[in-house]
Copies of this chain bind each other. A is one copy, B any other.
Amino acid sequence: MVWGRVKAFFDNDFEESAAPSVHFENVGVRYGMGPEVLRDLTFSIEPNSFQFLTGPSGAGKTTLLRLILLSVKPTRGLISLFGEDVSRISKDDLTDLRRRMGVVFQDFRLLDHLTTYENVALPLRVQGKEEASYRNEVVELLRWVGLGDRMHMLPPVLSGGEKQRAAIARALIVRPDLLLADEPTGNVDPSLARRLLRLFIELNRLGTSVVIATHDFGLMDQLNVRRLVLGDGQLHIDE
């Protein structure tokens, strides 16, 4: 598999870059005129690290991920991504940053008019790559997440878990430097969840920083890694 072959390259590459993938300093955010959903967040996500993000429903997990994705602006504080301050970033740089990140949305956000295959290949197509160069890889990944025979179906006819797996595959296909997954196993059975977790772990081994937002203690208990716990708008870190 291609991933095995590029492993060495990634390993070398990440040794040099010391800057954390994500760094928050005293970040606070509110929606509109509402109360602060998150306040005084100060933390880092190191390159090649693995962590869970948890907290009760409505605690702000998704909001935190959206801050990292730059789709929500903090009302105060400083955010830097890959060592770069993002407060006055240009549109082009934003695109570049986004190409280094993979996201699994809580509500999947697949494009309904594209097949599963096309959805998963979308990030590569958007980057202007030739189809021949990624075709095998996409198919391989789809088979690994159990969508080998769903490749040509449109998302609206997929089951909930199938959509979720397609969303995961789309985030993984670019082998991003930073993976943000929002409740990526909420719609699949425990054995499939384990299988998907293995995929995240493998990606992490290849050099990606992984952040998984989840409520699923069963899933978190399988892996002894750092936990970022949100509650009452504040962050508490379990190493």
Q: How many residues of A contact B (CB 8 A)?
A: 27
Instruction: Determine the residue in chain B with the shortest Cβ distance to A165.
Output: B57
Q: Are A188 and B215 in contact, CB atoms less than 8 angstroms apart?
A: yes
Chain B nearest CB, measured from A143 CB (Å): 14
Assess A160 versus B57: contact at CB under 8 Å? Given A106-B187, A187-B183. Answer: yes
Q: Are A56 and B106 in contact, CB atoms less than 8 angstroms apart?
A: no
A189 at the interface (CB under 8 A from B): yes
Interface of A is mostly: loop
A190 at the interface (CB under 8 A from B): yes
Chain B nearest CB, measured from A66 CB (Å): 11
* Residues 136-173 of A contacting B (Cβ, < 8 Å): 146, 157, 159-162, 165
Q: Are B192 and A57 in contact, CB atoms less than 8 angstroms apart?
A: yes
Q: List 5 A-B contacts (CB under 8 A).
A: A57-B188, A57-B189, A57-B192, A58-B146, A186-B186
